[in-house]
């Protein structure tokens, strides 16, 4: 699954618990949270996903889908 948790990235432990039940999840962010405000630097989601792609705009989704396809083979 490709997931852009948006503002839930930083605070949603219930979303984290749900994501932890999915075998392969790639977290996507259009912007780079590490280059933004300090409160955006921490993701409660990233600890339970296969990987994170951030900062490539809409191409972040293409990169995530390409990785999912690679993992499926």
Q: Which domains does the chain have, with CATH numbers?
A: 2-72 (3.40.50.9100)
Residue-level pLDDT at 7 = 87
Among the listed residues 50, 67, 60, the one whose alpha carbon sits nearest the alpha carbon of residue 6 = 60
CA-to-CA distance for 14 and 26, rounded, in angstroms?
Answer: 17
CA-to-CA distance for 16 and 65, rounded, in angstroms?
Answer: 21
Average pLDDT over residues 54-73: 95
Name the pLDDT band for 63 (thresholds 50, 70, 90).
very high
Residue-level pLDDT at 41 = 77
pLDDT in tens, 12-62: 999 999 999 999 999 999 998 888 888 777 899 999 999 999 999 999 999
């Amino acid at each position: 699954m490709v997931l852009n948790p948006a503002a839930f990235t930083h605070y949603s432990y219930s979303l984290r618990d749900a994501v932890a039940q999915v075998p392969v999840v790639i977290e996507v962010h259009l912007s780079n949270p590490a280059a933004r405000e300090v409160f955006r630097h921490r993701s409660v989601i990233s600890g339970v996903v296969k990987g994170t792609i951030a900062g490539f705009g809409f191409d972040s989704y293409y990169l995530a889908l390409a990785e999912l396809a690679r993992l499926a083979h």
